[in-house]
Amino acid sequence: MAQEQKLVLITGATEGVGKQTAIQLAAKGFNIVMMVRNKVRAGLAKAEILAAAPNAQVDYIIVDLTSFKQVRAAAKQFNDKYPKLDVLINNAGLIYPDKKITEDGFELCFQTNHLSHFLLTSLVLDKLRLSKQGRIINLSSEGHKMGKFDPDNFNAEKGYSSIAQYCFTKLCNLYFTYSLAEKLKGTGITVNAVHPGVVRSGFGSDLDKGWLKPIFAISRLFMISNEQGAATSVFLASDPSVAKVTGKYFKNSKETATKGNTHNTTNQQILWDYSVEKTGAFKP
């Protein structure tokens, strides 16, 4: 009897780490659904994935994560088409040079990196429940160590720094991971976070100018490839050894402890309640 192919849903899979994650998982026998912004890039990424894994089924759904309306529509499109989901990889993320408020009224980076993935996860969770062993993987970063949690500054109300806001959202990714893992205990669905590494990709290219340009030029000498950056997400999505591991943070495909503020359950609950209120997600 042929082994049933598993299905993975990946946000931001048209370039960088996300695309390499899709390519590597397709090569391992996964079917791929990408949630992406750009139709042309989606088509090019699909062709590249199929070139590496001709037997894979590859689909894409267009969505802009700066819009809750689009996230809801994309989730409905996915839920209507697919009977179940095995792996959700909340991969998409950005760092933006200037403060920008979305149509929903939130700071762009905060909505893209946290709130929209919080909403998407809620909307496809029932499909993960139908998998034999559902897995949720959230891309965080070592930048979480510099993240400052201030409930009065989620949307950079007190002044905007692109790096500070990015690091805050990576802390949010950890809070979300730890909170959701606790809430899903006993369901068979695991939730883990990933640091992909400092990757030589197009991420942060908007900041590669002015006085930061020489810093970026030097730092690229020490960056890893997209293929290397995808390795930990691929490991968590596919390896049997982590089938029951949940609520953890991984880098270099190894479980790594996070310290201090990352395990502040009061902050975790504040963020969870705020996210539920603003997105309407995770309601019974």
Q: Which of 9, 21, 15 is nearest to 234 (CA)?
A: 21
Domain boundaries, the chain: 7-279
> pLDDT by residue (tens digit) across 170-205?
999 999 999 999 999 999 999 999 998 554 444 444
- Give residue 215's pLDDT band: very low, low, confident or very high (50, 70, 90): very low
Q: Which of 166, 175, 178, 249 is catalytic?
A: 166
Q: Which residue has the tokens 């989730």?
A: 75
CA-CA-CA-CA torsion sign (100, 105, 107, 109): negative
- Give residue 282's pLDDT band: very low, low, confident or very high (50, 70, 90): confident
Q: What mean pLDDT comes out for the span 72-85?
A: 98
Residue 1 clears pLDDT 70, i.e. is over it:
no
Mean pLDDT of the chain: 90
Residue 217 clears pLDDT 90, i.e. is over it:
no
Q: How far is Cα 43 from Cα 41, in angstroms, rounded to an integer?
A: 5
Q: What mean pLDDT comes out for the span 234-246?
A: 98
Q: Which residues contact 221 (CB under 8 A, 6 or more apart)?
A: none
Residue 225 per-residue DSSP state: P
Answer yes or no: 178 catalytic.
no
> pLDDT by residue (tens digit) across 254-280?
999 998 889 999 999 999 999 999 999
Q: Look up residue 116 and give its two tokens.
A: 């929209």
Per-residue confidence (pLDDT) for residue 283, from 0 to 100:
65
Per-residue confidence (pLDDT) for residue 222, from 0 to 100:
43
Contact 154, 175 (CB under 8 A): no
> pLDDT by residue (tens digit) across 143-172?
899 999 999 999 999 999 999 999 999 999
> pLDDT by residue (tens digit) across 94-152?
999 999 999 999 999 999 999 999 999 999 999 999 999 999 999 999 889 999 999 99
Per-residue confidence (pLDDT) for residue 212, from 0 to 100:
47
Q: Which of 89, 70, 72, 80 is nearest to 30 (CA)?
A: 89
Q: How far is Cα 178 from Cα 175, in angstroms, rounded to an integer?
A: 5
End-to-end alpha-carbon separation of the chain, Å?
38
Q: Indicate the fold that domain 7-279 takes in CATH.
A: Rossmann fold (3.40.50)
Per-residue confidence (pLDDT) for residue 226, from 0 to 100:
59
Residue percentage of the chain with pLDDT more than 90: 82
Contact 121, 180 (CB under 8 A): yes
Question: Which residues are registered as beta bridge partners of 88?
Answer: 9, 136
Per-residue confidence (pLDDT) for residue 119, from 0 to 100:
98
* Phi, psi for 32 (deg, rounded to 5): -120, 130
Residue 52 clears pLDDT 70, i.e. is over it:
yes
Q: Which segment of 27-31, 159-163, 221-225 scores lowest on mean pLDDT?
A: 221-225
Q: Look up residue 127 and give its two tokens.
A: 């499909």
Burial of 1 (0-12, 13-18, 19+ CB in 10 A): exposed
Residue 68 clears pLDDT 90, i.e. is over it:
yes
Q: Which residues contact 185 (CB under 8 A, 6 or more apart)?
A: 246
Residue percentage of the chain with pLDDT more than 70: 88
